[in-house]
Amino acid sequence: MTLESAYAAVVAAPREDAPRARFADLAASPEPATAAFVRDQLATAGRRRSAGRRDREIERAARRVLAPPPVHEARFRRARALLAGTVPAWAEAWGYGRGFLERACVDAAWFAARGVELAAAAPIVDVVLTGLPHDATECFDSPAWAHARSLRFAGPPPTAAHVEALATSPYFGALRSLDLGGAGLPATAIYAVAASPTLRGLRYVRADGNAFPDVNPAQDEQDGQVYGARPSTFAAELRARYGPLSWLTGVPPEEEPPPETWG
C-alpha cells in the first residue's frame, strides 16, 4: 500500500481510527514528522474519549500539536481550495483532528451543492454551518452529511424548521454531537430531535439559550441553586415521552466535550 492509497482509505472511512493508524505506520520512514503528528493527534482523541468530558490538561496538550508538517499539509490542498472563499473572514475555515483535516466551516448552500466533492478530498466529520437561509431546509437533504460526527452553527442560528428538517433527513445517522445553543428555539425543535429515528446515535446536544429548559444544566431548575451536574426535570420529561436518549448526559455547556469524545 502506498501513502496515496492509505490516504484514500482514510477519506473513505473518515470516522475510523484504524486507517489513520495504518497511514502513520506507512509514513514512519518517508515522513517521520507526519507519522508523529498523526499518532499524537490520535492519542489525544483517545484521551478525550476516556475522559468523557472536556479536560483542561488534555486540551492544553492538544494545543501543542495543531498544525501538520508541510509535506502532510500539502495533501489537503484540494480541500482547502474548495473551502476558500465559502465562509466569512472571521471564521476559521478548517482544522485538524486525529492527524487529518477533518473540521470545516462551510456555507450552507455551498455544502448542500458541493459537500460530496469536499468529502472526496478530505475526511471531514466536524462541520460548522454558516449562511443558513431562513427556513430554507434543502441544505439538510444531501448525502454530504452521511459522515458528519458533529454539527454547530456559526450564524445565523437554526430555526425550528431547520431542526425539524435535520431530524427527518435520512443522512444524519452518524451524528454524535449537535450544538443548538442560543438559537431561541421552541420546544417543538427538541421534540423533533428526541423523536427522530435517524438521530438515535446522538451522544451530546447543547440546548441552552432556547425557549425550553436546558436539557443539560448544572443547576436545579426550581430555585437556581447549584448542585453540580444535576439532570433537569425537562430531560426527565423527554425520557418519559420518548424513551432512553443517550444525549441527555447532564454535561453542562461550559464543559461541552470535544467531538472526539463520542467517537
Q: Which three cell numbers stand for residue 229?
A: 451536574
Encoded amino acid at 207, one letter: A
At 50, give phi and psi (nearest 5°). -65, -35
Q: Which three cell numbers stand for residue 22?
A: 495504518
Q: Which amino acid is at 63?
A: R
In a domain, 251, yes or no: yes
For residue 219, the domain's CATH number is 3.80.10
Residue 75 lies in a domain: yes
Task: Report how far apart, in Å, the C-alpha atoms of 182 and of each of 65, 206, 216, 226, 228 are.
Answer: 31, 9, 14, 21, 22
Q: Among all chains, which residue has been given the C-alpha cell 520512514? A: 29
- Is residue 142 included in any domain, yes or no? yes
Helices (H), ranges, the chain:
3-12, 18-27, 32-51, 56-62, 70-73, 77-83, 108-119, 160-168, 187-195, 233-242
Q: Tell me, yes or no, whether 157 lies in a domain.
A: yes
Model pLDDT, residue 229? 52
- pTM of the predicted protein model: 0.90
**Distance of alpha carbon 251 from alpha carbon 50, whole angstroms:** 15
Sole residue written with cell 427527518: 168
pLDDT in tens, 195-231: 999 999 999 999 999 999 888 865 544 555 544 555 6
Domain that includes residue 172, residue range: 69-262
Q: For residue 52, is it within any domain?
A: no
Confidence at residue 88, expressed as pLDDT on a 0 to 100 scale? 75
Residue 85's contacts (CB-CB under 8 Å, 6 or more residues apart) are: none
CB 126, CB 259: distance < 8 Å: yes
* In-domain check, residue 23: no
Going by the DSSP 8-state scheme, the letter that residue 30 receives in this structure is T
Any idea which residue has 418519559 for its cell? 240
Q: Is residue 14 part of a domain?
A: no
Section 92-110 average pLDDT: 92
Q: Are 257 and 48 in contact (CB under 8 A)?
A: yes
Domain count, the chain: 1
Any domain includes 172: yes
pLDDT tens for residues 36-85? Answer: 999 999 999 998 888 877 788 888 887 777 789 999 999 999 999 999 87
Q: How far apart are CA 181 and CA 206, in angstroms?
A: 5
Residue 183 has pLDDT above 90, yes or no: yes
